Structure 1
Amino acid sequence: MADGVESQDLRPRDGLDEVDRAILAALAADGRMSNAALAEAVGVAASTSLARVRALTARGVISGFRATIDPRAVGRDMQALISVAIRAGARANIARFAEEIRTMPEVIQVFFLGGAEDFIVHVAARDSDGIRDFVLEALSANPLVASTRTSMVFDHHFIGVRVGD
């Protein structure tokens, strides 16, 4: 308290101000835009834009820049979401299971859950035989796995995190 006036922290709780949010929204819409285009879109100097993007990346707010590849374009026409329950006696090995499963080429995403199942594994394979082979060889044969439930994906729409909504 200075001069009898209590200071207030006016920063948002998530530590992101309007410029940060504008940068995130612009990059979410087009992650390949140049820094100059980003600065213009957000209404800041190019140096400010670059510094903000670097800071957001260093803080882990931006976790990376990557190409999103359509699995069908690389011969993986079938996708599935596989619910996996780990054996009760194997709970200490949950981290090991997650590490192993993430290295398999069919795996697109792995979700660790609270609830009836321990994981949902999103996979893509050439066809339903490829999905079946993955379930049998990578999951059912794994001594840590108690059970699986497979749901085939008919269509997939990636939305991403919306900023500012």
Structure 2
Amino acid sequence: MSLTFCGSASASALMAFHGSELMGKAIKIHVKTTPRKGYNPLQVACVDYPRPDIDNTTNFLEAAYLSSSFRASPRPTKPLKVVIAGAEKQKQELDAEKQCTKELKEAMQMAMEGHARMLEQYVDLEEKHIQLLARHRKIQEGIDDFKKEATRAGQE
């Protein structure tokens, strides 16, 4: 294999690959310096390598045999069950999360019911307070009327 590079700027960098191998074949690098006006172009000539012969290797033949045996084997009549490793632990975690969710839901329901009862009691207390204020106003008006009557009776 032979690569030809033209240009002086990268010649020293390309020489680092001198003597290298690619897929068992030596790489030969030829650097030509051909200065052009204003720039030094880098030209690369590429070589296409042939496909490696892997068709007769042990690994390839064994994989081909296994693939053909899988294709030729009969299909199951009923669906297979798939066992997932660690599924029991995930099921336990899911059950624990469901239980926790249920308990939180119950606690929230109790809190909402308690809050609703408290609001009902507050409304009842407010109504009683309004009634008490109305009675107090009537009593106060009665006292004021009595004082006015007493003042009139004392002046006469």
Higher strand share: 1
In proportion to residue count, which structure has more helix? 2
Shorter chain as normaliser: what TM range? under 0.3
The structure showing larger relative contact order (alpha-carbon pairs under 8 Å, at least 6 residues apart) is: 1
TM-score between both structures, scaled by the size of structure 1? 0.17
